[in-house]
Amino acid sequence: MRLRALYAGLALLLAMFAVDALGAAEVRGVRLWRAPDNTRLVFDLSGQVQHSVFTLSAPNRLVIDINGAQLSTKLDQLNFANTPITSIRSAQRTPNDVRVVIDLSSVVTPKSFTLAPNQQYGNRLVVDLFDQDAGAPPSVPVTATAGTPQLPVTPAQPAAKLPSVPGGKRDIVIAIDAGHGGEDPGAIGAKGQHEKDVTLAIAKYLQQQISQEKGFRAELIRTGDYFIPLRKRTEIARKKGADLFVSIHADAAPRPSAFGASVFALSDRGATSETARWLADNENRSDLIGGVGSVSLDDKDRMLAGVLLDLSMTASLSSSLNVGQKVLSNIGRSTPLHKRRVEQAGFMVLKSPDIPSILVETGFISNPGEALKLTSASHQQVLARSITTGVRQFFMQNPPPGTYLAMLRDQGSAVEPPREHRVASGESLATIAQRYQVSLPALRKANGLTRDTVKVGQKLSIPTTALASQE
């Protein structure tokens, strides 16, 4: 009898273990992204978990306890280059509790949160390791070891406003924001193309091209494959002293045939409700958008809303519309447009703006043909060139005070030094005339050309009537 009871008890115990074990989520993998000031670890999970994170010193370690989870993967496949991580160890402490220990070469400030499933990923646990000298986000619990010497914090550089052109005139600063990044791939094309890669490639070409324009300097908000919260993006632009914020994206639609580029500025309608909705969101808003949102179409609008809201905090609507229209009409010369006018998402605009901001949807990555173009270097360069031209046209007409372009305008175009252009592949006399805002006959005349054929590498002098001939 007694033995039978014991067996029954044992069986029950085993059954309970089994149930428990089945109920535990699996830790299926871990991914790592390195950003300039932090390292993001993303644990892919089969279900929801509880977790806690704490740091230990001498030697520096970060401990992540994941409760209600079993490890079903090895965590040693990661590349720790340029990160403070030297190794990752893990142990199943109980059948349902995983402990992950991260060995660190320097002190970090951790921040962690979980993300619900989206179309691409399941449940995730995100652990951000902020470098000690990077300035931790405001909401981070203080877990760093007491007595750790603080490295000097790099001062927010107003370097952007420093004169860099002779005569003490500053450059016009264009902040270029490559949409998405890291854990947030953005929209995904039929062949698996990621919007985040397209946006970064175009942003880099755009930076090169704008920086080659005299009187301009371009700064990338995101320089690699990592996610930056939306609020931080506009903050970076402000720190860099941006005169214009250009966010680069690629569209997606359920209908694969949708195509064409579009440019967004803010709407001055519906400000209160949208603002209220977004402001009410908690501090994880950006992370939620970045981590969960932007893959699904509904959430893509939320992503857009978030970007535009942040822009609106400081945006100048009429300037945004003006520069947006110039960018759009230049893009329209090289690629089909989705809408011929600058769109204003039904969001809102701020009342005392200081950085005009536009969002360029460079095409539909969900359209197979357009996705091919968007991933080709030559088309990316053409798109960047169109944006550069539009931006340049806007600032030649509206140069901010104290800039080299403002000086040119004030003194008349006579002071503008003669310009020379070396023909690059894919360029025609017409596109060069357009770029420098000179008429085709004037360009022909300045170079003694009788025909419009030009050769790659050929040097052309650009007539100095540019400012006078602005539309």
- Residues near Zn ion, by CB under 5 A: 179, 186, 249
Query: Using CA atoms, how far apart are residues 391 and 413, in angstroms rounded to an integer?
Result: 19
Based on CB atoms, which residue is closest to Zn ion, 184 or 219? 184
CB of 388 to Zn ion, least distance (A): 20
Nearer to Zn ion by Cβ, of 179 and 390: the residue is 179
- Which residues neighbour 431 within 8 Å (Cβ) at sequence distance 6 or greater? 385
Residue 439 CA to residue 465 CA, distance in Å, equals 9
| Least distance (Å) between residue 359 CB and Zn ion | 8
In 3-state terms the chain splits into helix, strand, coil percentages (rounded to 5) of 35, 25, 40
- Least spacing, CB of residue 199 vs Zn ion, in Å: 7
> For residues 148 and 167, what is the distance between their CA atoms, to the nearest angstrom?
46
Q: How far is the CB of 307 from Zn ion (least distance, A)?
A: 8
- The residue nearest Zn ion at its CB is 249
Considering only CA atoms, which of 36, 284, 279 is closest in space to residue 138? 284
Query: Between 111 and 180, whose beta carbon lies closer to Zn ion?
Result: 180
CB of 251 to Zn ion, least distance (A): 8
- Residue 102 · residue 78 · CB < 8 Å: no
Which are the contacts of 220, defined by CB distance < 8 A and separation ≥ 6? 176, 178, 203, 204, 207
Give me the least distance between CB of 178 and Zn ion, in Å please: 10
Q: In angstroms, rounded to a whole number, what is the distance separating the alpha carbons of residues 135 and 105?
A: 18
> Residue 413's CB: how many other CB atoms inside 10 A?
16
- Give the torsion sign (CA, 414, 213, 317, 433): positive
Least separation in angstroms between CB 344 and Zn ion: 17
